[in-house]
Amino acid sequence: MTAPLAVLGTAISAAGAIVLAFLGAFETRVTLTPTGTIPVTIGLRADDLSTMVAVMVTLVALAIQVYSVGYMKHDVRYPAFAALVGLFTLAMLTVVLAADLLMLYVGWEIMGVCSYFLIGHHWEKPHATAAAIKSFLMTRFGDVGFLFGIFVLGVAAGSFRITDVIAAVPAMTSGTVLTGALLLLVGVVGKAAQFPLHSWLPDAMAGPAPVSALIHAATMVAAGAYVVALLYPVFLSAPLALDVLAVVAVISMIGAALAALVTDDLKRVLAYSTISQLSVMFAALAVGGRTQAIAHLLSHAAFKALLFLCSGAVIIAVGSNLMTRMGGLRRRMPLSFLTMTVGFAALAGIPPTAGFFSKDAVVASAEHHWFVFVALLLTVGLTAAYTTRAWLRTFFGSGPDVREAPKLMTVPLVLLAVVALLLGFAGLWFDELRPELLSAVLSVVLAGVGVAAVYLVWRRDPAKDPVDSLGRLRGVFGSAFGTDTLYERTIARGVMRVADEVVRVDDSVVGRTVRGTGRGTRSLGGLLRRAQNGNAQFYVTALLAGVVVIAVGVVILR
Amino acid sequence: MHVVYPAVLAALLFSIGVYGVLARRNAILVLMSVELMLNAVNLNLVAFDVWLADKLGSGQILTLFVIVIAAAEVGLGLAIVLQVFRNRSTISIDALDELAEDKQ
């Protein structure tokens, strides 16, 4: 009963989002309880950007719900899973369609807690709970900044309504805008898993594959890019914030691509690639390419959802995440092979897939900004390289004898593959998204170099991992340049020390006060208990004495 | 006759009653002391009724009420005292301290 309900609910919301997309821009709102100062409103705000993203979110969520019915067939906790995926989708829609920044923040936080529950879906496994806690803490760390960014902008604008805030940006002092933009960026970096808050995302692979698809394609990490695009005027009037965003994006895209190149876990490869692809969106935003960033967001949603769902099909068939256990799946899982090839091609930016068009638009938008441009081109080459490696190691060579996934899982795969293949052509309607010759040729050549390099290394010995030749660098890349260890040695240790101290103070000061209050009350009660001797005459005497005292007191003090 | 004479007398009677209730050990004497207090009240009621020349005589009527209540109370009170004596062979109020907090 759960499965039809979950699918039907998501389908209805998808239909609603599509209707919304045809309605045109509008905004509704009701003022929540009067706050005395800045009013908090609840409202729906639909424009081209938000309805497009809403359609994307609901359609990907629908594909994931259908797929999950097959994927989670033997899981006793499927109902809870389906409900949480639904809540997650709802929270993302809240972020996308909110008319008020505080309402947006509500959706933002619900996503955080849903990701915590979903990543920790297999809570009997310690690494899943550890990953859930890690993602929760790291994104929450960023959310503190995000919330304060909202406060700064809302107080400066005198309203939390998004349209009001954007309208008020020109009147704000540059310091206010910069503070607000940088604080928002902290939250965006956390949710979108950019450097230096990137390390929760690869660990989040402990959740089931549909969850990864949801988090990576449609919801949580995309919310960061969406919010920057939504509040773009704020960032445009704070150029320093855009520069910071550019630096963060460049570090994240190259670092994550290098990490993806050497990782052996198929889902972790995709996770690192998500970090890298999100950085591509942020790079576009940093150089002024808002449309390009959104185009890449949409096409990335299609092909990344496809890739994760395919990897789920492969993993469930093979029974392992590790690519060393895979190989040769081309003949045994032809449909998964075909769809995942489309996904990989889109990720690598091979024409004519959606990934090619959107990534090329991003590269073209960065032409005047050499720093980002070079980083983007480098990333294009690296992306093609790690994509080829994953593709070759999963589907070619020799491997286990497995069967194709059930139909319920392959249908969403085929549909997503069609979208990933054709979505790019929709971009031809927009001026900003048409491929430019220089960037298109450059990125295709670089992607080809990446593919060819890995292929040549692989062909020498198909049984071996092509990145074995990297030697010691492999370990460095694989640990994402040791950031986790660094955090553990510095931040985690410091926090632990502070926490120990807090526990000690809590016990010695707070606890002792509480226990002392109890003990004091008891001893005071013991004193009073002596008066209760069971002699009725004594009680009456005390009563009379009391009456006399009160009467005298009243007379004297009147 | 001035109202102060019966009032003073009533006050004396009442005080004796209070003293008896508070100081006497014997339950019957305590009951008698209560009667003394009630009679002091009665005396006051009658005296002030006359003093204020109440046309309805409400003080006297209340006195009748009090006398009836007092009679009933003594009837019940003596029955209780008898029962206490049968059960514990004492009617000393000091000895009846079962409701005291446990000695610690």
Name the token pair of A319.
Answer: 């029974």
Could you please report the per-residue DSSP string of A303-343? HHHHHHHHHHHHHHHHT-SBGGG---HHHHSHHHHHHHHHH
Q: Is the peptide bond before A196 cis (omega within 30 degrees of 0)?
A: yes
Share of chain A above pLDDT 90, in %: 6
Among B15, B18, B19, B22, the strongest candidate for a mutation testing the A interface, having the largest count of A CBs within 10 A, is B22
Instruction: Please state the φ and ψ torsions of residue A395, each to the nearest 5 degrees.
Output: -110, -15
Give A417-466 as a 3 state SS string: HHHHHHHHHHHHHCHHHCCCHHHHHHHHHHHHHHHHHHHHHHHHCCCCCH
Mean pLDDT of B85-102: 83
Q: Is the pLDDT of residue B38 over 90?
A: yes
Give the other-Cβ count within 10 Å of A440's Cβ.
20
How far is the C-alpha of A405 from the C-alpha of A483, rounded, in Å? 37
Mean pLDDT of A28-40: 76
In a domain, A281, yes or no: yes
In a domain, A380, yes or no: yes
**For B97, nearest residue in chain A (alpha carbons):** A534
pLDDT score, position B67: 94
> For A294-333, b where at least 16 C-beta lie within 10 A, e where not — what string?
bbbbbbbbbbbbbbbbbbbbbbbbbeebebeebbbbbebb
Q: pLDDT band at residue A29, thresholds of 50, 70 and 90?
A: confident
* Strand-pair category, A41-46 with A26-31: antiparallel
pLDDT score, position A498: 92
How far is the C-alpha of A156 from the C-alpha of A169, rounded, in Å? 9
pLDDT score, position A451: 81
pLDDT score, position A407: 74
Whether B97 and A535 lie within 8 Å, measured CB to CB? yes
Q: Is the pLDDT of residue A478 over 70?
A: no
> DSSP character for A161?
B
One-letter amino acid identity for A364?
Answer: A
What average pLDDT is seen over chain A? Answer: 83
pLDDT score, position A401: 74
Instruction: Please report residues of B whose CB lies closer than 8 A to that of A540.
Output: 21-22
> For B19-32, b where at least 16 C-beta lie within 10 A, e where not — what string?
ebbbebeebeebbb
Q: What is the pLDDT of residues A400-411, one digit of tens each?
A: 777 777 777 778
According to DSSP, the residues that pair with A322 across neighbouring strands are A265
Q: In Å, what is the CA distance from A75 to each residue of A24, A209, A215?
A: 42, 13, 20
Mean pLDDT of A523-528: 87
Whether B99 and A534 lie within 8 Å, measured CB to CB? yes
Cβ neighbours for A376, distance < 8 A, ≥ 6 positions apart: A253, A280, A283, A362, A363, A366
A30 in helix, strand or coil? strand
* Interaxial angle between packed helices A266-286 and A220-230, expressed in degrees from 0 to 180 and rounded to the nearest 10: 0
Note whether A111 and A216 are same-domain residues: yes
pLDDT score, position B79: 95
Q: Nearest Cα to A48, choosing from A430, A436, A434, A435?
A: A430
In a domain, A523, yes or no: no
Q: pLDDT band at residue A308, thresholds of 50, 70 and 90?
A: confident
How far is the C-alpha of A172 from the C-alpha of A76, rounded, in Å? 54
Note whether A208 and A309 are same-domain residues: no
Note whether A398 and A415 are same-domain residues: yes
Give me the domain span that covers residue A107: 1-233
User: What is chain B's percent helix, strand, coil content, to nearest 5?
Assistant: 75, 0, 20
Q: pLDDT band at residue A470, thresholds of 50, 70 and 90?
A: low
Which one of A470, A496, A523 terminates a domain?
A470
More confidently predicted of A160 and B45: B45
> For A12-22, b where at least 16 C-beta lie within 10 A, e where not — what string?
ebbeebeebbe
Among B22, B96, B100, select the one facing A541 at the smallest CB separation: B22
According to DSSP, the residues that pair with A31 across neighbouring strands are A41
Q: How many structural domains is chain A composed of?
A: 3
Q: What is the pLDDT of residues A354-392, one digit of tens each?
A: 888 888 888 888 888 888 888 888 888 888 888 888 888
Whether A533 and B97 lie within 8 Å, measured CB to CB? yes
Q: How many interchain CB pairs under 8 A, A with B?
A: 31
Mean pLDDT of A539-545: 90
Note whether A228 and A257 are same-domain residues: no
Q: What is the pLDDT of residues A35-47, one digit of tens each?
A: 777 778 888 888 8
HSE at residue A545, side-chain half, CA atoms within 13 A, is 7
Whether B96 and A534 lie within 8 Å, measured CB to CB? yes
In a domain, A199, yes or no: yes
pLDDT score, position A552: 95
Tell me the pTM. Answer: 0.74
In a domain, A389, yes or no: yes
In a domain, A542, yes or no: no
How far is the C-alpha of B3 from the C-alpha of B6, rounded, in Å? 6
Q: Is the pLDDT of residue A353 over 90?
A: no
Mean pLDDT of A163-178: 84
Q: Is the pLDDT of residue A226 over 60?
A: yes
Cβ neighbours for B71, distance < 8 A, ≥ 6 positions apart: none
Helices (H), A488-535: 493-505, 512-529
Which one of A481, A507, A533 terminates a domain?
A507
**In A38-164, where do the E strands start and end?**
41-46
ipTM of the complex: 0.82
How far is the C-alpha of A375 from the C-alpha of A252, rounded, in Å? 10
Instruction: Please report residues of B whose CB lies closer than 8 A to that of A544.
Output: 18, 22
Q: pLDDT band at residue B78, thresholds of 50, 70 and 90?
A: very high
Q: Is the pLDDT of residue A343 over 90?
A: no
pLDDT score, position B72: 94
Among A533, A536, A544, select the one facing B93 at the smallest CB separation: A536
Note whether A150 and A252 are same-domain residues: no
Domain boundary assignment for chain B: 4-94
pLDDT score, position B104: 46
Instruction: Please state the φ and ψ torsions of residue A61, each to the nearest 5 degrees.
Output: -60, -35
Note whether A216 and A206 are same-domain residues: yes
Q: pLDDT band at residue A322, thresholds of 50, 70 and 90?
A: confident
Note whether A181 and A263 are same-domain residues: no
How far is the C-alpha of B96 from the C-alpha of B30, rounded, in Å? 14
Q: Is the pLDDT of residue B103 over 60?
A: no
> What distance in Å separates residue A550's CA from the closest CA in chain B?
18
How far is the C-alpha of B32 from the C-alpha of B30, rounded, in Å? 5
A42 in helix, strand or coil? strand
> DSSP character for B101?
P
Q: What is the pLDDT of residues B13-28, one digit of tens each?
A: 999 999 999 988 899 9
Query: By the 8 A CB rule, do A529 and B101 touch?
Result: yes
Q: Does residue A533 sit at the B interface (CB-CB below 8 Å)?
A: yes
Q: Does residue A523 sit at the B interface (CB-CB below 8 Å)?
A: no
Note whether A322 and A442 are same-domain residues: yes
Mean pLDDT of A69-86: 83
Q: What is the pLDDT of residues A240-283, one digit of tens each?
A: 888 888 888 888 888 888 888 888 788 888 888 888 888 888 88
Range with the largest mean pLDDT of A60-64, A161-165, A334-338, B2-6: B2-6
Query: By the 8 A CB rule, do A476 and A411 touch?
Result: no
Note whether A386 and A403 are same-domain residues: yes
In a domain, A520, yes or no: no
Query: By the 8 A CB rule, do A243 and A286 touch?
Result: yes
Is CATH 1.10.287.3510 the classification given to domain B4-94?
yes
| Residue in the block written with tokens 């993203």 | A53
> What distance in Å separates residue A521's CA from the closest CA in chain B?
17
Mean pLDDT of A89-105: 88
Question: Which of A61-65, A553-557, B23-27 has the lowest average pLDDT?
Answer: A61-65
The helix (H) or strand (E) run that includes residue A19 is helix A2-23
A513 CA to centre of own chain:
43
Total residues found in chain A within this entry: 558
How far is the C-alpha of A116 from the C-alpha of A132, rounded, in Å? 5
Query: By the 8 A CB rule, do A11 and A62 touch?
Result: yes
In a domain, A197, yes or no: yes
Note whether A136 and A21 are same-domain residues: yes
